[in-house]
Structure 1
Amino acid sequence: MSQASFILSAFDLNLWCSVLETKFTVDDLAALQAIIDADIADDPDFAGLYSIDPDELNAIDQRFDVGFDPARLKLPEIEIWLERERKGRSIRDVPYLVHTNFELPLMLEGRKKLARFTDVHPKTEKAFDRWAEKGVLHKEVFVESIPESLIPYLIDPNHREVRDVYYSLKGEEWRIPAMNLLWKAEGGWNEHFERLEGMLFGYEDWQNDWWIAHRNEQSGGIGGVPFCCKVDSEGLKWMELAGFKALPPLAEIQIHIYDPDEDTVAAALLAEDECAVAFARFKLSLEMQRKLLDGNTQGPWQINREQIPEINRHLKRQVDVLFRQSAP
């Protein structure tokens, strides 16, 4: 029977961070789903984040022998969360403390200089507001209408405004207009913006270096949807001669969205084509991405030879070669 790892967290609503965690192994997903009454149809892989009540926690402890006892912390306001461990893409795999869900204590310690929330959850804002009201943090709010050109791409077309809430340490207020200006810059997000954002938040240079290198390796670069296409031996040779700075001028290319969690699917797709020897992974400018996705957000997309030069003009970085294999 296959096993899966899960994490239980005790989340302090006053400090707005996890203060106790434990990992445990589940040998029967159906049993866990039955305990927390999870909707299998909506979340068959248990990828969601679940709030656990005391009775559910007790049942989990008895069934899976977890030994998780947040009551011993004697904290007045905590929530218990359950999530499935995501191997290879979890922030717990990063070799430094990622600020996510630790923003408030890090700011109170002076280790984090700035926090930014878009359409922030009321409980999150309440936790930070306590310290803004005490004069420890500085708060600014920006509300802007979503441009009409982006309305067709919204999940909820009735959501027409974006509310950004910033908190900074006292004396670091300059970071707020700097970050707001960064997010208004045109041309699409890229690794230079990512580095500037990290610096404004308070990450160290080596941490920004690691993060950008990791994102390049995992998804082909910062910002936007990663795409991929199969190439034959001639196409691969052409890309090598071009320094991996362009896609080859093949008669026709079928482009797919690349999902780093579905490497087995990508490898199977490659095996279906006896002429293919590798996948080329690439990212496009926001302008080209919208043009490509127009009317079809799932793919695949058929690109002919005449369209490839335009695609190449909109590449955001080098083309990565994945699953390279010998020519038949």
Structure 2
Amino acid sequence: MRHPAACFILSAIDPDLLCPWLEVRFETDDFDTLRRLLELDPSEHLGPKNFYLLTPAQVEAVCVAFEINFEHGPREAFLFQYVDNGIHFPYLVHTGYELALMVQRRKPFGFIDFHSGRPTSVRLKAQFDTYVAQGLLHSQEEIIDVAGRPSRPGHQIGQIFYTLKGEEWRIPALEFIRQHINRQGDGFENLERLEGALLGYERWQNDWWIDHLARSGVTLYGAPLICKVDRAQYDWLVHAGFRALPPFDAPTFTLHSPHWLDDEAMKQAMQADSRIEAFVQFNIGLRHIMHAADFRTAGPYDIPTSLIPTINSDLVRTVRILVQRTEAPGLVEPSA
């Protein structure tokens, strides 16, 4: 049966470091042939959440069947469907590359989730432990036994922490942070930032990641919302340390969702209206204001200004400037 064409990734795995060594993307609508080569049930869904480990022979068979030029050599490979999730990192994310980066001494600290019932997890631990035995890495395990059931054998799960020699202090530092930091609002932001620093991410990389989380409305940041402010309101924000929304001299003010208002749209609005000094973002749990508008729609949303005290008392993050007139090219006011 033919399906709409989909993109797939073949990712050859380095047998020692267990990270992607070479990747190729191909497109096909012949899912039946792909299932046959992977030895899958004819009805199995080849969805974007499924990853398949291929033997070198299976990799070669896929390359021949779909005319793929891929110098994978005698390596296993993962095959999975490529889906653009909209998250385009401007730096290398360590996930999946921890062992390689630590062996190359480019990363001081990392941890992996372990499950004794998953062969890939057991194999990754074994490779890490090889370098522990050689004296390059230090490890600390936090693993518990999970009792079995009549239909399921017992297993072990947990996290294993690895550091370069001399960087062992990072493990108790992470545990101290996790135990004592407030995980709500700005506390969660601090937790992400400190964990990122301990794992070896640079400050600008942590800034990008935290801004992405806040704009996406995931984790504990609440819903991200955007509003415009004039010059007087912007000055008020500065004096308030960006910890509250300014007053609005009108019965209502307009909010936007960042999913429907990007930087270019904000700049265009500022070009059309010289009174707009900036667009700012704040984060709040929608339960506090959901009665004021239908947030299931794309917006914009007109909100009574009487709700500003409620918003300010329930902010889970400082107010952030997204686009400012004096910093946006082409939007600087001409001098008199």
* Global fold match (TM > 0.5): yes
Q: What's 2:142 paired with?
A: 142
AA matched with 2:59: L
Change (3 A) 1:23 1:171: same
Q: Spell out, residue by residue over 1:41-71, the C-alpha distance to the aligned partner (whole angstroms, 9 max, x if none).
A: 6645342111113443233212321122321
C-alpha contact 2:13 2:78 (8 A) present in aligned 1? yes
CA distance in 2 between partners of 1:95 and 1:188 (Å) = 26
Query: Hey, what's the Cα distance between the residues in 2 that align with 1:225 and 1:41?
Result: 40
Residue by residue, what CA displacement relative to the aligned partner does 1:27-53 show, whole Å, maximum 9, x if unpaired?
334442343244576645342111113
Alpha-carbon separation, structure 1, partners of 2:47 and 2:27: 15
When Rg is computed on C-alpha atoms for both structures, the one with the higher figure is 2
Describe the shift of the 1:250–1:18 C-alpha distance in structure 2 as closer, same or farther (beyond 3 A). closer
Aligned sequence identity (%):
32
Partner of 1:126: 126
Residues 97 and 33 from structure 1, CA distance in 2 versus in 1: closer, same or farther, beyond 3 angstroms? Answer: same
- Contact between 1:235 and 1:250, CA under 8 Å: does it hold in 2? no
Q: 1:237 aligns with which of 242, 253, 256?
A: 253
* Change in CA separation of 1:114 and 1:89 when aligned onto 2, cut-off 3 Å: farther
1:115-194 pair list within 5 angstroms: 115-119=110-114, 121-143=121-143, 163-185=158-180, 187-188=182-183, 190-194=188-192
Q: Following TM superposition, by how much is the alpha carbon of 1:173 offset from its aligned partner in structure 2, in angstroms?
A: 0.8
Q: Distance in 2 between matches of 1:131 and 1:10?
A: 22
Asked if residue 84 in structure 1 is aligned to residue 81 in structure 2, the reply is yes
CA distances 1:203-226 after superposition (whole Å, capped 9, x unpaired): 111222222223333x225x3597
Q: How far apart are 1:124 and its partner, in Å? A: 1.0
Structure 2 length-normalised TM: 0.60
2:100 aligned residue (101, 105, 121): 105
The answer for the alignment partner of 1:15 in structure 2 is 17
- Which of 166, 173, 196 is equivalent to 1:198? 196
Query: Contact (CA 8 Å) 1:270, 1:279: kept in 2 or not?
Result: no
Contact 2:114 2:125 in 1 (8 A): no
1:50–1:238 distance in 2 versus 1, CA, 3 Å: same
State how many pairs are aligned. 252
Q: Secondary structure at the match of 2:253?
A: helix
Aligned-pair CA distance for 1:115 = 1.1
Q: Is the CA contact (8 Å cut-off) linking 2:111 and 2:162 kept in structure 1? A: yes
Residue 139 of structure 1 deviates from its aligned partner by 1.0
Moved more, 53-62 or 100-109: 53-62
Greater relative contact order (CA < 8 Å, ≥ 6 in sequence): 1
Deviation at 1:177, TM superposition (A): 0.7
Q: Distance in 2 between matches of 1:12 and 1:170?
A: 24
**CA positional deviation for 1:175:** 0.5
Structure 1: distance between partners of 2:314 and 2:145:
28
Q: 2:230 maps to which residue?
A: none
Match of residue 49, structure 1, among 48, 51, 63:
51
Structure 2: gaps of 5 or more residues: 116-120, 147-152, 226-249, 257-279, 304-308, 321-336
**Paired amino acid for 2:197:** M
Residue 168 of structure 1: CA displacement?
A: 0.5
Query: Contact 1:119–1:162 at 8 Å: present in 2 too?
Result: yes
Rounded Cα–Cα distance in structure 2 between residues aligned with 1:28 and 1:175: 49
**Equivalent position amino acid for 1:200 in 2:** L
Q: Residues 48 and 209 (structure 1 numbering): CA distance in 2 closer, same or farther, change over 3 Å?
A: same
Residue aligning to 1:5: 7
Counterpart of 1:36 in structure 2 is 38
Counterparts of 1:270 and 1:70, CA distance in 2: 47
Letter in 2 for 1:237: F
The correspondence for 2:26, drawn from 24, 44, 48, is 24
Distance 1:84 1:254, change over 3 A: same
| Alignment check: 8 A CA contact 1:5 1:26 kept | yes
Letter in 2 for 1:140: Q
Identify the residue that residue 70 of structure 1 maps to in structure 2: 72
Tell me how far apart the structure 1 counterparts of residues 156 and 58 of structure 2 sit (CA, whole Å).
37
Q: Runs of at least 4 residues of structure 1 off by over 6 A?
A: 158-161, 225-229, 252-255, 309-314
Once residues 317 and 38 of structure 2 are traced to their aligned partners in structure 1, the CA distance between those partners, rounded to angstroms, is 44
1:270 has 2:307 as partner: no
